[in-house]
Amino acid sequence: KNQVEQSPQSLIILEGKNCTLQCNYTVSPFSNLRWYKQDTGRGPVSLTIMTFSENTKSNGRYTATLDADTKQSSLHITASQLSDSASYICVSEGRYSSASKIIFGSGTRLSIRP
C-alpha cells in the first residue's frame, strides 16, 4: 500500500532554534519526493523536490535529505523565524506508464514561539 507518514505530528520550538521533520514513504515505483509549506487557509508552496538520485537539496534555510534505500526523508530548518510557523507536508510521487500517483503525508504543524 502506498503511504507517506510524517513525524512529529506537531512541534513547538523557540525562534532561532533549528528543527528536523521526518517523512517515511512506501510509494512504489518511486519518482520523487517533495516538501511543501502550507500556511493556514492558503495553498501549499513548494520547498524542495528530489528524485531518487538526489541525497540533499537546499532552499534558503530549508534543507531536505533523501535516503532512497530506507525510503526516508527529512526537512531541516535552520535558525527558525516566526514566519516558519506553518504545516509542512511531505509528498511522494509514484510514476506509472500513463499517470502518476501523488501521495500526501498528514503534515507536521510547526509553531515558532518568540
Kindly list the residues in this chain that would bind other proteins in the complex (CB under 8 A).
31-32, 34, 36, 41-46, 49, 51, 89, 93, 95, 98-100, 102, 104-107, 109
What minimum distance in Å lies between the beta carbon of 32 and other proteins? 5
What minimum distance in Å lies between the beta carbon of 16 and other proteins? 27
The burial class, CB within 10 Å (0-12 / 13-18 / 19+), for 89 is: buried
| Minimum CB distance to other proteins smaller for 20 or for 100 | 100
| Minimum CB distance to other proteins smaller for 43 or for 114 | 43
What minimum distance in Å lies between the beta carbon of 94 and other proteins? 11
Cell of 19: 528543527
| Minimum CB distance to other proteins smaller for 44 or for 85 | 44
What minimum distance in Å lies between the beta carbon of 79 and other proteins? 25
| Minimum CB distance to other proteins smaller for 71 or for 101 | 101
